Amino acid sequence: MATVSYSAKEIDCKIVYAGPGLSGKTTNVKYIHGQVATGSRGKLISLAAGNDRTLFFDFLPLDSGEINGFKIRLHLYSVPGQAMYSDSRRLILQGVDGIVFVADSQESRMDANIASLRDLKENLRGQRRKGVSLVLQCNKRDLHDAIPVPEIVSQLGLSRVACLEAVASEGKGVFETLRRVSRMVIGRLHRQFEILEGRA
């Protein structure tokens, strides 16, 4: 859940890129970091975990506006996808505001997509989190064995979730996905602040 820094006049929101190993989570986060102006972003930090790793950085998006005079700072994380790092994922998902589930479009990776989504749901259920914004990104659309997007959506059971296509290695669909999830998160923040103002 978003945290408010009254001294910095900022609201911190946490967006996590989840999905199976090698689906493109890290590629998304690294691409975004490379495109954001240096003065608006923090350092890209990498924590190694065996063959997988967690990446994170924070930045002030220029087009997010303000809420009651507070700027919005986004903290982006990618989580390790391999099954053995379940504890790391659980920890990183604490306090999450928005999730980008990065699905690998290859037919051979659908079982891994399904298992990763199941793990994500269990982690959120364990934290009793509700109302987390979720966006599905179907990545690797350039590969010859990429299955149709409607089939991915159907197998994952995410027909009610916003879905975007991407080729993260080329930057295609990366910022479109980020904009979609961040707008959902910021929209909910606006509604929450309106409720709080109504109670004041």
DSSP 100-146: EEEEE-BGGGHHHHHHHHHHHHHHHHHTT----EEEEEEE-TTSTTB
| C-alpha span between 163 and 168 (Å, rounded) | 14
Query: Could you give the number of structural domains in the chain?
Result: 1
Residues of the chain falling short of pLDDT 50:
none
Query: What integer pLDDT is reported at residue 83 of this predicted model?
Result: 61
Say whether 89 sits in a helix, a strand or coil: helix
Residues sharing a CB contact under 8 Å with residue 158, sequence separation 6 or more, in sequence order: 101, 117, 134, 136
Instruction: Give this prediction's pTM.
Output: 0.93
CATH number, domain containing residue 123: 3.40.50.300
Query: What integer pLDDT is reported at residue 194 of this predicted model?
Result: 74
Pairing of strands 98-104, 10-18: parallel
| C-alpha span between 11 and 8 (Å, rounded) | 9
Query: What integer pLDDT is reported at residue 51 of this predicted model?
Result: 63
Query: What integer pLDDT is reported at residue 63 of this predicted model?
Result: 74
Domain encompassing residue 52: 3-199
Does the CA dihedral 106-153-138-25 come out positive or negative?
negative
